Every structure is written in C-alpha cells, then in structure tokens.
Structure 1
Amino acid sequence: MPSSARLVLTSAAAPCHTPAGVVGNTPVLWIDQPFTSDGRGFWAKLEGHNPGGIKDRPALHMLERARDRGELAAGAPIVESTSGTLGLGLALAGIVHGHPVTLVTDPGMEPMMVHMLRAYGATVDTVAEPDPIGGWQEARRRRVRELLDAEPGAWCPDQYHNPDNVTAYEPLAMELVAQLGRVDVLVTSVGTGGHSAGISRVLRRYNPQLRLVGVDTAGSTIFGQPAGPRLMRGLGSSIYPRNVDYAAFDEVHWVTAPEAVWTCRELATGHYASGGWSVGAVGLVAGWLARTLSPETRIAAIFPDGPQRYFDTVYNDTFCHTHNLLDHAPAEHPDQIAHPGERIVDRWTRCTTVTDPVTDPRLAHLGARR
C-alpha cells in the first residue's frame, strides 16, 4: 500500500459494522461573526454530525444498560415520548439491537420527522389533545403509560428521569477534553437535563471552576417560569425532569423563537453550521458570552442537531412569516431578572439565581411537581 494511503487510513474513522459505530467523535468548530468581530468567539460541538443528533448517545446507552440489567428482554418493544431527536436515536438503537420501537408524539412534530421515523422502522403514535395541566408533554407521557400497560414486557427509557441519560454523555465530555483541553464555560440547552448534567460533571473533574450556562425557552417550566405556549421544540419542558442538576448551573437564559430563528439563519449563512431551535438559542447565548467575558475564556457550546429536520419551520419563510418570526434581530444584551419568579419573560432574559422549582418556596404558586 502506498505510504500516502496508509497516512489517510490512520487518520480516518475506522470502518463500522453497525450504525452505532458512527455515533460520537463529532467535530468542534470556531464561531465568531456575527457575534463578535475582535477575534473572540466560541467553540461549537457539532452533534448534528451523529446520524440522528445528540440523542443517539443516550438512546444507545439507556437501551444497552437496560439490557445489561435484564430490564429489557431481547426483542421486547420500546415505547417512549419524544419531540423528535430522541426518537431518531431510539430508532437507530432499535435497528442495532433488534427491538421494535413505538414513539409517542404530538401534532407539533414536523411532517419530515414523522416520515423519517417511519422510514427507520419506528411506529409513530400521535396524541390528539394536550393535558390541561402538563400540556402536550404530559399527554404524550400518559399515552406511553397506556401502551406499556397494554403490552407486558415493553420498556420505556423514561428519558426525563433516567440517570443513564446523564452518564451517556461522559464520552462527549471526554471528546471535548481531547479537542479543547481546557473548557472554562459550557453552554447547553436544557430539556431532559441529560447532557447539561452529564457533560458538566466530567468537565469539572478537569476544571473545578467551570461555569455551566443553561439555555431554556420562554413558556418552559424547568427553571421556575410558568408554563406557556412553546413553539420551539427540543428544549424546555412543561414538567420537572429529575435529571436536571440545578446545583450545577451558574446561570440560565430564556430565549424566544424569533431570536432563535435569527441566530440559526446567521449561523447557516456565516458558518455553514447550524441546526434547529436549540442550536439557535445556544448560539445566541454563547455569542453574547464571547463578547462580554475576558478574551482568554474558552467557551464550548453544544449544538444538538443539524438543520435538516427544520426545513419546514426555522428555514421556511412561509412558516416564519405566519408565526411572525422574521426581522426580529436580538438585542445586544439580555434582560436581567433577579429570580425566576420575578416576572414572566417574553424575550431573551438572563438570571444568575438558579433554583429547583419543586423545592423553592418562592415558586410554590406554580404547583411544581415531578
């Protein structure tokens, strides 16, 4: 073999026998403009380079650990609630390990995503009405329980409360250590709480002073705001996942849909690296941190997915005009509130007081429960 070919082979990824082999080892990309213009910036971890996105990692890990413990028998059905990305991961894991997969979603799931999940062999079960208190998310979880009761032996990963969802991200954290060495600030979206907890836990072994910045969406209850309508999917929640490690966060930002759309499109135009709602929200916050923190601060931002599934929403002008999402450039700086219960946020807002709404007496009016 020519020496040049050997060199290429040693630096290339190894051939894979199953789709699980192509999960992980995702690249990081330097992002500066349009957020900064003075050499500052942040590093984006491009999890959209996984086959289905960031949740390929916990889907495989949760399933494998359940099989190891005997909770999931060979060939048994898997049933779970999803807004999309975990569904892709579970479809992949089902193919790898030979399990039929049923995914419970709601009418807000993009048609493209429904078609993709069915193409990957999953059954898509769509709930018709939101729960009067817990919204679509609780309605999906209730339907999951019905399906589990109807099929003995079926297994649900319960991504919101499963600690395996947290430990699944240890390899991602180690990739960041290998790629960047030191990480001073980690910026993550928060939905189930899995990747924010799992990545920060490992990174703090190498830098105990790491700052963790959570990014949520307006209308989400996770950090103590009241539940409200949420156009953005993939981050936020109308329940209180146990996997959210409140003590680990140094601050939280809420971002609205128009601000996320603006950021997604700027990232696409300027860097050919973008994604969906979570990417836009995280990119906006990471860019602000890059502008305002000292130049030597090393910021890592987790981009959970790529843009493909959002062609009918974030990147569709008709959809965005219908929902008044265009021509709303974010402010230079976020609003500030002293406590999550201070007021309802309706634009990009920052808070450095992070508490668990279930135990914070100042948020008792929310009736927070898990």
Structure 2
Amino acid sequence: MPSPRDLFAGHAATFPCPGGLVGNTPVMRIVEPFSSIGNGFWAKLEGFNPGGMKDRPALHMVERAKSRGDLVPGARIVESTSGTLGLGLALAGIVHDHPVTLVTDPGLEPILTQMLAAYGARVETVTDPHPTGGWQQARRDRVQSILAADQNAWCPDQYTNPDNVSAYQPLALELLAQLGHIDVLVCSVGTGGHSAGISRTLRQFLPDLDVVGVDTVGSTIFGQPAHKRLMRGLGSSIYPENVDYSAFSEVHWVAPSESVSACRTLASTHYSTGGWSVGAVALAAGWVASTRSPGTVVAAVFPDGPQRYYGTVYNDAFCHANGIDPTAGLPTAPLTIADPADSVVTRWSRCSTVYHPLAAR
C-alpha cells in the first residue's frame, strides 16, 4: 500500500509562516439563476485567503515599504479600514513583526472588531463622520493625527499607494493560468486597487479585455452624489487616486437589498458566497454573461467569504431593521442610464459612460 506521503505528493502544502497561505485561490463556475441557461461566469474565490483578498496588498505594501526603508523595524503600521484590509494588515504585522493600529467607524461589524483585536491589532473607532467626506474622511483624519504623534509610524494609504495596484499582478496571472482566456473582468470598486491592478496586467496579454466596475448606491466614485451607505467593502465618499477610470467599459451600482438577495442565493445554489461586494459582483457578472454571446469568458472577483457578515447580510433582524426583505427574489436586470449625472440611482443600475467626476468634460 502506498504511504500517505506518496499518495498526497504534490497536494499537501506546508508553510513556514502564515503569509504563505495567501494566493493561489480557486475559481468556481457560477451558473443559474445568475445567468441564463448555458451561460455563466467564473468566480475567483478570494475568501480562501486567510483574511480575504486584501491580504495580498497588505503584505505587498508592507514588504515594499520595508525594502525602501519607509517602514523601519518595529514601527507601528496605521491605516483606515472598513474591515478587510485591516485583516490583511494584522496578518502583515504578525509576519513582519510590526504593531498595527486600525482606524474604523461604528459600521464595522462587532465580530470583526473582536477578531482584529484577537490578531493583535489596536482598533480605534471614530465617533463622528466628516461633514463632507463622511466616515472615510473622518478615519483618514484620525490616521493623520496618530502619525503626527509618532514619527516612526507608517501608513500604507491604500487609496493612493501604487503598491496597492501592483499587488494584484499575481492574482491576474493566476486567473490567466486557470482560465486561459478572459473576455470580461467584473470587479467591485472601493480603493480602486484590485480593479486597476488586475486589468492592467491582463491587458498586457488581452488588449481587448472589457472591464465592468461594480459600485454601491450612495457612492461618489463614478459621479453619483454621496449618501449614507450600508454596504461596506465597496464604494467611497471620496475619490481614491487608485481608481483607473479609463479601464472601465461600464459601471453597475447595486443596492443593499439586491446584494443580500444575491449573497443568499449564492449560498443556497452554489454553497459559495460572501459579503456585500460578492453579492453585487455576482449580480453584475451574471447579467453580463447572459447578455454576451455563447463562449464568452467572464471572470469575476469575489473579495471575501461570508464569515464577517453573519450579523448583517445573513441576519434577518439586521435586514428588517434596515428595510431589507431577506426573502426577496433575485433581481433579473439593471436599469440603464446614459450618464451618471442624469439621475440618482437607488436600485441596480448600469451605465456605459464612465469618467472621473472631477475631470473637465
């Protein structure tokens, strides 16, 4: 009888540190009811990373800063986060022996606050939103005050740091190795890092690639007015410099109720799901796959898994308290608008006119 070592040769990986667990995530085929019969899309399951997709940029930004001397040994890492990057920075702090302070706001799920503390991070919560920049600007202002008080502290500044973009080159190359060819890439957009980084690398091999951005209603990124946002992990109340507007062929906005429906439908039909971004991306990618010709290869990035959302997306009491019917059916198609400035979207909508809202036109 073969030994266990022989039976599992090449399959059982061992890692000397937790950083080795990041990357080489699987892809899974998503079909009905998200797309029409015979069509579907491939989902890159970034929830298989220890903390989610942002483990990749967290490690990369820290490693690049250390190599340049911007982050000195033992210095504190300080950053604003809505959650997932915080998990990645907690991991990077452990791997590279740096204390980590994360600035968040009251919308952060309690389970995530508890896990970040368990991973050794100090979590500071701002109590009031900025009058124009909302919670994001309030968090960034608090980060600046911490940096001012500690001359050795370092902030990766995920919104502007080009290393946040280049960190996703391996993910793009993994997708190419897994799928061989990609016609359409569908990504959520928050800091702009993964949509810019993946598309930039893929277009070196696939110059005709279409890129579809997915945002949340109430986000300013693609020209909508800022409103209170329930969904975390995508969208913004500021204009992140890493968003590459020229990369997108169209953008979709998704409402919280629609994302919840998609997340729960993914769980019940595919046993693979995630949070707000995953639900929004699944809706858009399924529709794109249904509207393209047979054989079109659509790839979508699912940034995380469901674990941190058990008290929100998958909690009926939370949904009812926020005006969401958790039993609502899956929406079938978006509303189409000609220009982001034409109207304020409140439900799943799409637009093929994409530009920087502050650019002269």
TM over 0.5, shorter chain = yes
- CA distance, structure 2, for counterparts of residue 37 and residue 255 of structure 1: 20
- CA distance, structure 2, for counterparts of residue 34 and residue 231 of structure 1: 25
Contact 1:221 1:227 in 2 (8 A): yes
Describe the superposition over 1:341-362 as per-residue Cα deviations: whole angstroms up to 9, x where unpaired: 111000000000100112144x
What letter is aligned with 1:71? D
What is residue 11 of structure 1 aligned with on the other side?
11
What is residue 289 of structure 1 aligned with on the other side?
288
Describe the superposition over 1:258-288 as per-residue Cα deviations: whole angstroms up to 9, x where unpaired: 0000000000111111000000000000111
Q: Secondary structure at the match of 2:215?
A: strand
**Residue 10 of structure 1: CA displacement?**
1.2
What letter is aligned with 1:206? F
- CA distance, structure 1, for counterparts of residue 77 and residue 124 of structure 2: 13
Q: Secondary structure at the match of 1:103?
A: strand
Describe the superposition over 1:20-47 as per-residue Cα deviations: whole angstroms up to 9, x where unpaired: 0000000000000212352210000000
Contact 2:216 2:255 in 1 (8 A): yes
What letter is aligned with 2:265? E
What is residue 143 of structure 2 aligned with on the other side?
144
Q: 2:349 aligned with 1:349, yes or no? A: yes
Q: Secondary structure at the match of 1:16?
A: coil
1:268-287 map, 5 Å: 268-287=267-286
**Following TM superposition, where does structure 1 have runs of at least 4 consecutive aligned residues deviating by more than 4 angstroms?**
none
% identical aligned pairs = 66
Describe the superposition over 1:152-192 as per-residue Cα deviations: whole angstroms up to 9, x where unpaired: 11000000000000000000000001100001000000000
Q: Secondary structure at the match of 1:268?
A: helix
- CA distance, structure 1, for counterparts of residue 213 and residue 36 of structure 2: 25
- CA distance, structure 1, for counterparts of residue 180 and residue 11 of structure 2: 20
- CA distance, structure 2, for counterparts of residue 36 and residue 133 of structure 1: 39
Q: 2:116 aligned with 1:111, yes or no? A: no
Contact 1:113 1:309 in 2 (8 A): yes
- CA distance, structure 2, for counterparts of residue 287 and residue 3 of structure 1: 44
Contact 1:31 1:44 in 2 (8 A): yes
**Residue 206 of structure 1: CA displacement?**
1.5
- CA distance, structure 1, for counterparts of residue 4 and residue 170 of structure 2: 31
What letter is aligned with 1:205? Q
Q: Secondary structure at the match of 1:281?
A: helix
**Residue 4 of structure 1: CA displacement?**
6.7
- CA distance, structure 1, for counterparts of residue 9 and residue 116 of structure 2: 33
What is residue 335 of structure 1 aligned with on the other side?
335
- CA distance, structure 2, for counterparts of residue 249 and residue 3 of structure 1: 52
Q: Secondary structure at the match of 1:221?
A: coil
Q: Secondary structure at the match of 2:324?
A: coil
Contact 1:36 1:290 in 2 (8 A): yes
Q: Structure 1 stretch 234-243 or stretch 324-333: which is displaced more?
A: 324-333
Contact 1:48 1:305 in 2 (8 A): yes
Q: 2:182 aligned with 1:188, yes or no? A: no
- CA distance, structure 1, for counterparts of residue 107 and residue 359 of structure 2: 31
Contact 2:259 2:280 in 1 (8 A): yes
**Residue 202 of structure 1: CA displacement?**
0.9
What is residue 255 of structure 1 aligned with on the other side?
254
Q: Structure 1 stretch 28-37 or stretch 69-78: which is displaced more?
A: 28-37
**Residue 55 of structure 1: CA displacement?**
0.1
Contact 1:182 1:206 in 2 (8 A): no
What is residue 54 of structure 1 aligned with on the other side?
53
Q: Structure 1 stretch 163-172 or stretch 317-326: which is displaced more?
A: 317-326
Aligned length: 360
Q: 2:212 aligned with 1:213, yes or no? A: yes
**Unaligned stretches of 5+ in structure 2?**
none
**Residue 3 of structure 1: CA displacement?**
6.7
- CA distance, structure 2, for counterparts of residue 325 and residue 44 of structure 1: 26
Contact 1:73 1:153 in 2 (8 A): yes
What is residue 100 of structure 2 aligned with on the other side?
101
**Residue 9 of structure 1: CA displacement?**
2.0
**Residue 205 of structure 1: CA displacement?**
1.4
What is residue 228 of structure 1 aligned with on the other side?
227
1:41-190 map, 5 Å: 41-190=40-189
- CA distance, structure 2, for counterparts of residue 3 and residue 177 of structure 1: 34
- CA distance, structure 1, for counterparts of residue 229 and residue 150 of structure 2: 32
Contact 2:265 2:330 in 1 (8 A): no
TM-score (normalizing by structure 2): 0.98
**Residue 18 of structure 1: CA displacement?**
0.7
- CA distance, structure 2, for counterparts of residue 150 and residue 96 of structure 1: 25
- CA distance, structure 2, for counterparts of residue 264 and residue 285 of structure 1: 13
- CA distance, structure 1, for counterparts of residue 170 and residue 3 of structure 2: 32
- CA distance, structure 1, for counterparts of residue 18 and residue 158 of structure 2: 21
What is residue 200 of structure 1 aligned with on the other side?
199
TM-score (normalizing by structure 1): 0.95
- CA distance, structure 2, for counterparts of residue 354 and residue 90 of structure 1: 32
Contact 2:313 2:319 in 1 (8 A): yes
- CA distance, structure 1, for counterparts of residue 265 and residue 5 of structure 2: 38
**Residue 6 of structure 1: CA displacement?**
2.4
